[in-house]
Amino acid sequence: MRWQAEWCDKLGSPLYGSLLRHAAHDAERGGPVAAALAGREGDPLESMLQLRFMGAVHRLALAGRAPALARIYPSCGGSGDLRAAWPAFRATVEEHLDELRSLVMRPVQTNEVGRSRALALGFLTLASEAALPLRLLEVGASAGLNLRWDAYRYESGEYEFGDPRSRVRFRDYIEGPPPPALPARVDVAERAGCDERPVYLDEDGQLTLRSYLWADQLERLRVLNGALALAPRLPVRIERSGAADWLGRRLAAPAEGVCTVVFHSIVMQYVEPAERERITEVIAAAGARATPDAPLARLALEPGGELADLRVTVWPGGEERLLGQAGYHGEPVRWTVE
C-alpha cells in the first residue's frame, strides 16, 4: 500500500496517496483494513491487491451505498477533503467487511482509455509502414474500449487524428520531438479481443470500470464516460478466454491483405509467467508464417520504469524496436527519434 501510495502521488492522486498510507497503518494495527484483507497476505504484488481494495471501496461509493464517503469522493460529486477522507473511508470498510472480502477477489479492470494516446501512434505507424488495413487483436481487452481507438480525437502540436466531433478528445500530451508524418486516416478491417474476465457494457460493467479509476481524477472519468457513450456505435466482440489459446486460434493461418496487430497495454504483469511464455511462443510461431502480404505485428505498452515503453515487433523479420514511452494512464507521450 505504501508503494502504491508513492505511485498515486506521482500520477496525480493525492487523495489515494493519503488514503493508502492511512490504510497501511490501519492494517498494521489490526484495524478494519486488516479484517477486510484477511487471507490475502500472500497475494503477489503483481496482482495489485491494493488497487483491487481501493476499487472495491470506490464501487460502494459510486453505487450510493457509502454516502459519507461519496460526500468526499470527487467522482461522486464530493469535496475531496483529505482530512475528512480517512474517517469516512475507515467507517465504510468497517461497515461493509463481508462484501469487501468478496469484491477484492476481482481483478483490476480499468480499461484505461487514455492509453489510446500512445497506442494510436503505434497503429498509425504500422498502417503507414504496411500500407494495408489493420486487423486488431487485443489481449486482456477488458471491455474493448481501446479497440475503438479510432473513434477518438487526438490533438497535440501539429499532430491531429480522428473525428473532431468525438466525445473523447485528447489534447497536448506529446512531449519533446513530434512523431513523424502519419496517415490522416486508417482502415480497420477487424477488431476483436479476449479477456479471462471480460467486462460487458451493461450497468454493472460500467460501474466496474468506473470503480477502478481513482476517485479524485475527474479527467480520467470524463474520458471513460465519453468512451462508454461511443461504444455502442462500434460493436466489438470480446471472448472469454486465456490469451495463448485465443491467439492460437486467431493466428492459425496468415491473414492476407491486412496487417494483423496483436496488442496489449499494462496487461502482462497480471498474466502468469507460464502463460506469458506461451503467448510469446504463439506469436513467434505465427510470425514465422507471416509474409509481406500478410504481415504480423506485436504492439506492447508495458512497464518500463517511470514510464511505460511502447514497443513493436514486426514479421517477416521479427525486429523489435522502441517507438516511444507513455505515462501509465496515457500521458505524457514521448516519441523516440531514430
Q: What is the pLDDT of residues 144-203, one digit of tens each?
A: 999 999 999 999 998 999 999 999 999 999 999 888 889 999 999 999 999 999 999 999
User: Is the pLDDT reported for residue 312 higher than 80?
Assistant: yes
- Confidence band (pLDDT; 50, 70, 90) for 337? low
Q: Give the model confidence (pLDDT) of 267-290 as tens digits.
A: 998 999 999 999 999 999 999 999
Instruction: Specify whether 319 is located in the same domain as 225.
Output: yes
Instruction: Specify whether 180 is located in the same domain as 56.
Output: no
Q: Give the model confidence (pLDDT) of 205-220 as tens digits.
A: 999 999 999 999 999 9
- Confidence band (pLDDT; 50, 70, 90) for 232? very high
Instruction: Specify whether 68 is located in the same domain as 210.
Output: no
Read off the pLDDT of each residue in 131-149 and give the average, rounded to a whole number: 98
Read off the pLDDT of each residue in 66-87 and give the average, rounded to a whole number: 98
- Say if CB 283 and CB 231 are below 8 A apart: no
pLDDT of 181 reads 86
pLDDT of 294 reads 98
Residues 301, 307: Cα–Cα separation, whole Å: 10
* Maximum separation of any 2 CA atoms in the chain, in Å: 62
The domain tally of the chain equals: 2
Is residue 42 assigned to a domain? yes
Instruction: Specify whether 55 is located in the same domain as 176.
Output: no
Amino acid at residue number 134:
L
Instruction: Specify whether 187 is located in the same domain as 309.
Output: yes
- Given 63, 85, 103, which residue is the final one in a domain? 103
pLDDT of 46 reads 87
Mean of pLDDT over the chain:
96
- Given 103, 136, 154, which residue is the final one in a domain? 103
Instruction: Specify whether 32 is located in the same domain as 121.
Output: no
Cell triple for 146: 481501446
Read off the pLDDT of each residue in 39-64 and give the average, rounded to a whole number: 95
Domain containing 322 equals 113-335
Percentage of the chain modeled with pLDDT above 90: 94
Instruction: Specify whether 47 is located in the same domain as 175.
Output: no
Is residue 294 assigned to a domain? yes
Instruction: Specify whether 98 is located in the same domain as 131.
Output: no
pLDDT of 338 reads 58
Residues 160, 77: Cα–Cα separation, whole Å: 33
User: Is the pLDDT reported for residue 310 higher than 70?
Assistant: yes
Is residue 108 assigned to a domain? no
In which region does residue 2 sit, left (phi positive, over 0), alpha (psi from -120 to 50) or beta (all else)?
A: alpha
- The residue count of the chain comes to 338
Residues 337, 324: Cα–Cα separation, whole Å: 8
User: Is the pLDDT reported for residue 321 higher than 90?
Assistant: yes
pLDDT of 32 reads 98
pLDDT of 180 reads 87
Read off the pLDDT of each residue in 118-131 and give the average, rounded to a whole number: 97
- Given 78, 103, 128, which residue is the final one in a domain? 103
Paired strand residues for 227:
none
pLDDT of 178 reads 85
Is residue 292 assigned to a domain? yes
Read off the pLDDT of each residue in 122-151 and give the average, rounded to a whole number: 97
Instruction: Specify whether 68 is located in the same domain as 120.
Output: no
- Confidence band (pLDDT; 50, 70, 90) for 254? very high
User: Is the pLDDT reported for residue 233 higher than 70?
Assistant: yes
Instruction: Specify whether 47 is located in the same domain as 174.
Output: no
Instruction: Specify whether 39 is located in the same domain as 7.
Output: yes
User: Is the pLDDT reported for residue 116 higher than 80?
Assistant: yes
* Residue that the C-alpha cell 454516502 belongs to: 67
Read off the pLDDT of each residue in 90-119 and give the average, rounded to a whole number: 96
Instruction: Specify whether 132 is located in the same domain as 270.
Output: yes
